[in-house]
Structures are given as structure tokens and as C-alpha cells.
Amino acid sequence: MSPMNDDQLNDALADLRAELSIEPSPEFAAKVRRQIDAEPERRGWNVWAWTGVAATCGIAVVAGALWMRSGDEIVVTPTVTPSVTTTIASTQTQTPTPVATTAQTTSPTPVTSLQQTVNAVRTTRIATAAPPKEKVLEVMVPPDQLLVIRQLMSNVRETSRREGPPSRTLIDPTTGELIPAKPIEIPLITIEPLPGAEGRSGGRQ
């Protein structure tokens, strides 16, 4: 089958042109006007919808900002000891006594097994008690020490901001001006061959 030549294609496109030369029906303009007249209701609904969306976004932003700010605060709790320490301490204090007695009277095997279980309990409790997420930094400080720590931190910040005068060693005592820095002198480095290394090139020929 031969490909269509230009004339045949032009004829086909001319038919296409003829088919596309349709005219709008007489009632077309009236239909458009009717649809446009029915628009205001939809437009009103859109305004309310957009207002609702904007309000929701605003509330979400404010809530997010508040939540972020609350995350930065230092939480001071009167119960100082964290749960991890408590569990380990209780395990350590309770178990040794019976272990020691059984170890003295009977065989050493139960002792090791008991110690193993203690260790196992310890490790599992540590593993379970350790918080998986470290989003909020909690500093456990007694309230009476907190004030002192805050004062110390503010003092440190203030002293770090101060800009002192340049060092006295850089100022000429007679003129009172800054002494220009001397260029650094680096002595020449001479590389001497190692004893007994003469004649070796080190490379493979």
C-alpha cells in the first residue's frame, strides 16, 4: 500500500474543514446566558467554602505554633529520679541477698543463673524504659538549684558578648598604635636520604 500523497491528504483535510464548519444553534447564546445567570449561587457557596478552608488553615497554624513553643520549655518536676534509675536500683537491692545465701549453702550454678536473670531483667528494663524518641529535652533540676543555674547561664551569655580591647602585646607602648604582624618565616626543609637507602629507587622498573 503506497503512502498518501500531498494532494490526497489535502483533499481529506478539505473534507475535514467542511465538516468543522458547523454553526451554533440559535438558542446557544440564550443557553449560555441562562447558565451564567445560575452562577451567583455557586459563587456564594465558593466564598463560604474558601472562608472555611482559610479559617481551618489559620487554626492549624496557630495550634502548631503553640505546640512548637510548648516543646521548648524546660520542664521541672519535683520527683528527680528518672524511672530507669529506679528500676535498676530496685532490681539491684532486692536480688543480691537471696543470691548470696544460696551461693554459700549450695552450688554456684544457681548464683550464675540468678545473676544472668538479674542482668537480663536489667537490660530488658533499660531497653524498655529508654525513651525511643528524644523530642522534648527534660532537665531534672530541683527548683532551688534552677534559679542559680539560670543566673549562671545568663552571666555566661553576657560575658561572652563583651568585646575586650586588643591584647597589650600587640600595641606599641610608645606610639599606642597596633604593631603590624610579622610575616611567618619557615626555615628551609632539607631532605637527606636515609642511611643505606642509596641506589634504591623504590619503584619497580
Partner 1 sequence: MNLASELTGNLLSVERDDVREFEARLADSSALAIRVAYGVVRNRQDAEDVAQEAFARAYRRFASLRDRERFRGWLVRMTWRLAIDHIRSRKRRQNREDALMAITPQAGDLTEDTAASERTARLWKAIDQLPDRLRVVIVLTSIEGHGVKEVAALLGAAEGTIKSRMFEARQKLREALQ
Residues engaged in binding partner 1 (CB under 8 A): 1-5, 8-9, 11-13, 15-25, 28-29, 31-32, 35-36, 39, 43
Q: How far is the CB of 38 from partner 1 (least distance, A)?
A: 9
What's the rounded Cα separation, in Å, for the pair 145 and 82?
Answer: 18
Task: Tell me how far, at minimum, the Cβ of 48 lies from partner 1, in Å.
Answer: 17
**Are residues 88 and 125 in contact, defined by beta-carbon separation less than 8 angstroms?**
yes
Toward partner 1, which CB reaches closer, 42 or 204?
Answer: 42
∠ CA 65-66-70 to the nearest 5 degrees? 120
Nearer to partner 1, 41 or 158 (CB): 41
Nearer to partner 1, 7 or 163 (CB): 7
Residue 4 or 80: which CB sits closer to partner 1?
A: 4
Closest CA to 98 of 84, 113, 86: 113
Q: Minimal distance in Å, beta carbon 40 to partner 1?
A: 11
Q: Which residue(s) pair with 178 in the sheet?
A: 171
Q: How far is the CB of 6 from partner 1 (least distance, A)?
A: 8
Q: How far is the CB of 44 from partner 1 (least distance, A)?
A: 13
CB nearer to partner 1: pick between 31 and 150:
31
- Residue 29 corresponds to which cell in the numbers above? 447564546
Angle value at C-alpha 183, between 181 and 188, nearest 5 degrees: 155
For every residue of 82-132, DSSP letters joined together read -HHHHHHHHHHHHSHHHHHHHHHHS-SHHHHHHHHHHHHHHHHHHHHHS-S
